[in-house]
Amino acid sequence: MSLRDVLVDELRDLYSAENQLVKALPKMAKGSSSPDLKTIFTTHLEETKGQVERLKQIFQQLEEKPTGEFCKGMEGLVAEGQEQLENDDEGALKDVAILGAALRVEHYEIAGYTAAIAIARQLGEDEVVSLLTETLNEEQQASEKVLSQAEPLFEEASADEEEEDDEELDDEEEDVEVVAAPKAKKKAATAKR
């Protein structure tokens, strides 16, 4: 196996990963309650489709076929994201879980593109380096956009939890009053005798 073969394998892995994301991103957008997060996923879906086309262009330049590898790493990340979509959490709390899954995906892609760029650079494949760098920049920007939603979602999830805690406390106080009322009446009746 040559360094060029390693590059082709890396590119096939990325091609598989991006195609898996083309299927996963609409589900992430649909499962998010945050309009901003939905927009980020929808926008990144279009970028991802462009990244698939860019990879096809690279394969044409290298006179190789894009198929032949299945990215098991992305398969695992997509499965983790699906678990977050199916969990029982709601609202901002669910969005925080989805956000975490999305960040793991972006960082996986960033690592893959960084490795492929380094190999292509070593091989003197300047046009490939340029195309891959364009995609790497998009992935880094997508990661930053997802991360920009973290703080507002954390705050919203915390506020939701505080609200739920207050409601639970109110319910517990009502239960105590209901239980305490008959005991108080019994004590008052006993005291009158």
Instruction: Give residue 69's pLDDT.
Output: 86
Asked if residue 86 belongs to a domain, the reply is yes
pLDDT, tens digit, 9 for 90 and up, residues 23-46 = 999 999 999 999 999 999 999 999
Asked if residue 89 belongs to a domain, the reply is yes
Choice between 93 and 192, residue whose per-residue pLDDT is larger: 93
Instruction: Give residue 4's pLDDT.
Output: 96
Instruction: Give residue 24's pLDDT.
Output: 97
Give me the chain's average pLDDT, please.
89
Asked if residue 154 belongs to a domain, the reply is no
Asked if residue 186 belongs to a domain, the reply is no
Q: CATH number of the domain that 114 lies in?
A: 1.20.1260.10
pLDDT, tens digit, 9 for 90 and up, residues 114-140 = 999 999 999 999 999 999 999 999 999
Asked if residue 107 belongs to a domain, the reply is yes
Asked if residue 162 belongs to a domain, the reply is no
Asked if residue 164 belongs to a domain, the reply is no
Q: In the predicted model, is pLDDT for residue 84 greater than 60?
A: yes
Q: What does the chain look like in DSSP terms, one character per residue?
A: --HHHHHHHHHHHHHHHHHHHHHHHHHHHHH---HHHHHHHHHHHHHHHHHHHHHHHHHHHHT--S-S---HHHHHHHHHHHHHHHSS--HHHHHHHHHHHHHHHHHHHHHHHHHHHHHHHHTT-HHHHHHHHHHHHHHHHHHHHHHHTHHHHHHHHHHHHHHHHHHHHHHHHHHHHHHHHHHHHHHHHHHH-
Asked if residue 184 belongs to a domain, the reply is no
Number of domains, the chain? 1
Domain span holding position 143: 3-149
Choice between 139 and 87, residue whose per-residue pLDDT is larger: 139
